C-alpha cells in the first residue's frame, strides 16, 4: 500500500498554475471509481477545489481587477482571445466608424480554423453602433471573438474575467 499511485505523483513536476481540469481528467481517466480508491480520489478532488478557489471568485462572479474594455485602433479586423485558461464573459461590443463610407462589420466566434457568425452590423460614416447580445457570451483561448469589416473601424469590447 505504501507505493500506491496518487495524483500528486502524476503531477509532481507541474506547478499549480499549469494544472488544468483537462490535465486532471487525463491523470485520472484510467482509475476506477470504487471504495478501494477513496485515498486516490481525495487528491484530485482537493486539487480541483484548489484550482476553483484560486482561479475564480465565489459562484463564478467577475474578478473586478481583471475586467476591462478592449479598444483597438482603426482596423478592418481584430480579435479578443483570452490567454491560457482564462474565461471572459463579454458584456458589450461596439464599433465606431471614422471612415468615409458605411462599414459592414461581421462578428464571429473563432477557433483559428473555423468561424461561426454571431451577426452583422452596419455603421454609417462617423457613427457608432453596438451589437445586441442575445445570450451570455463567454470566450476562451480556444473559442474567441473576432470581427471583420469592409472599412476601418474602432472596436470596443467590454468583458469581465470570470476565471483565470
**22 part of a folded domain:** yes
41 and 11: one domain?
yes
Task: Report which of 62, 114, 115, 50 is spatially closest to residue 88, judged by C-alpha positions.
Answer: 62
pTM of the entire structure? 0.78
For residues 84 and 107, state if they share a domain: yes
Residue-level pLDDT at 142:
97
Same domain for 29 and 89, yes or no, is no
Task: Let me know if residue 1 belongs to a domain.
Answer: no
111 and 32 in a common domain: no
pLDDT in tens, the chain (164 residues): 456 678 888 888 888 888 887 888 888 888 888 888 888 888 888 888 888 877 777 767 888 899 999 999 999 999 999 999 899 999 999 999 999 999 999 999 999 999 999 999 999 999 999 999 888 899 999 999 999 999 999 999 999 999 88
In terms of domains, do 99 and 144 share one? Answer: yes
Domain limits at 88?
A: 64-163
**Positive/negative CA dihedral, 161, 146, 112, 74:** negative
Report yes or no on 136 lying in a domain.
yes
CATH of the domain at 156: 2.60.120.340
pLDDT recorded at residue 11: 87
Are 136 and 68 in a shared domain?
A: yes
What pLDDT was estimated at residue 3? 64
| Dist. CA 74–CA 52, nearest whole Å | 38
Does the residue 2 lie in any domain?
no
pLDDT value at residue 25: 85
How many domains is the chain built from?
Answer: 2
Last residue of a domain, one of 15, 35, 55: 55
Please report whether residue 110 resides in a domain. yes
Per DSSP, helices labelled H in the chain are 7-10, 21-28, 38-55
Amino acid at each position: 500500500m505504501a507505493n500506491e499511485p496518487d495524483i500528486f505523483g502524476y503531477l509532481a513536476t507541474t506547478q499549480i498554475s499549469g494544472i488544468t481540469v483537462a490535465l486532471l481528467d487525463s491523470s485520472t481517466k484510467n482509475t476506477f471509481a470504487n471504495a478501494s480508491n477513496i485515498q486516490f480520489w481525495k487528491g484530485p478532488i482537493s486539487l480541483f477545489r484548489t484550482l476553483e478557489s484560486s482561479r475564480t471568485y465565489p459562484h463564478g462572479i467577475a474578478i473586478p481587477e481583471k475586467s476591462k474594455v478592449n479598444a483597438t485602433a482603426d482596423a478592418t479586423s481584430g480579435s479578443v482571445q483570452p490567454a491560457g485558461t482564462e474565461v471572459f464573459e463579454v458584456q458589450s461590443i461596439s464599433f465606431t466608424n471614422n471612415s468615409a463610407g458605411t462599414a459592414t462589420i461581421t462578428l464571429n466566434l473563432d477557433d483559428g480554423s473555423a468561424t461561426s457568425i454571431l451577426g452583422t452590423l452596419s455603421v454609417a460614416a462617423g457613427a457608432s453602433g453596438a451589437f445586441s447580445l442575445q445570450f451570455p457570451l463567454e470566450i476562451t483561448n480556444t473559442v474567441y471573438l473576432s470581427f471583420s469589416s469592409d472599412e476601418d473601424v474602432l472596436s470596443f469590447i467590454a468583458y469581465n474575467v470570470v476565471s483565470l
